[in-house]
A and B are shown apart, each in its own frame.
Chain A
């Protein structure tokens, strides 16, 4: 017995062309997001400059320490810190996910009702629209990266294989990061005081992902803790895949770990969604 939702989906995306259907769907959403965001270039630049303040601060602080310690700290020279934090800016941009804070509004305003009527699981919409936006901001990022490179002279020598793995890993990082925050956002189905939960997660991520400092500068116990959490596969790993001269085992092992966390995330999303959606009742839509 097939459910109504599955029947609808079959009508929407014919079985024979299922894959082509998905591709069409994603391409269409990319185009919507691109057209939307190209209009607001100034707003996007404000946003990106605000975002770049964070790594520049870390970079200045740690380069200062490296120089005061006679040229390097934790195996990083100022030039290597520069490379790390400049690549950071792109990884951060790729990492942006639908904010868990957005769920409250979605539920309160009844936006979710409209999404539920579409024969499409809502996460695809979030992933596709933000991915389209990223395609715009990657282009906008290039001049920013050029300026940062002139200002901070990074030490960068990468192999073609690093670039290839990096190009996959940044999209992997996006998906790894999407799922836990989607699950967390669904907490809004149960309570309106979600701020503290989100902040705990953001803080854990800041310290244990390589966002604040390269993980090799963290104490040993923190590094062990980071090994069993998903965070480092979203920040530290993609950056080091490009600049860290990782041996092949680590380079490709990282992609496998990303895949593992994506699978765990998808299972988590499915389970939590099933319970969460029962709690939903909308006023309007």
Chain B
């Protein structure tokens, strides 16, 4: 965050206290959202958010900012639809312009199986309260004039599911708005304060060790991204999570404009235009698990080739920037929220490549769980206990990154 934005956003920095009622590890969208709703909905303000870097420096600052609810299983559709609705009202609620823009999202089908998947998506979404329609090839062509309907001869566009509520928002503005709202209510946010250990008295969690010294708290929430397994291991909690890099890039300004969000499961990319006019393109996760945030030329060349197959106009653009985040990929491609089996240690994790859109709903639900001690029905299916109960929430086809 630079001096200019420091002056625009009212963030009240403070020295760490010795003890808090709740410590949230991770100052990204999810951690700050949990703190924001704790303060605004439940009046719980003796809360610290600990961030090892600066706020929004992890996956909240690296994602491709798509907000959508067109998932493949009923529990996920309901959850993300609620988050989508919260996002629509978040500018009014926080009083901050988040550059939220409803654009509509098309998920393209290039084969008979793809058509079947997108038809099924439309049916499941409609049944669970989200809006998704199936479009035939002609309707897709009229909505996306830049699309090569022949897909370079190899990936013909046979149809698409259309999700009119699909939206984008400016990621760092979301982070700053939530931080500002939480800090305005008295929540402490400490940057460059990494957690180095969890402190136990017998079986009971009593606080955290940080680079700024020990902090007492009876309740510790992990809102950590890619490094979550490391933190959970400090509590003796094993997670079904693998950390994979995810790369993305932007091109230079595309003047004619591109007002939709487009995804293709078979060609494995998704694309939208940022408010600055850059074409923002992401793709699948790197195949090997890794904590290194290294970007590769192999990704750039293969992803560019696939996107140009469908959108030939991209070949005239230049790539401006490329970056990488490390994603906490859960084995069933669904988030993990709630209790862990260790008293006082909660997680909101498994956000993999789909976390940005869930920031308001996950924060709201985690805050309710912390405040009331009861798991809200909206997130109950996403507990860590689902694996012991053998009911994984498999939804790989909706991640957009596989």
Do these two chains really belong together in a complex? no
Binding site for B on A (CB under 8 A): none
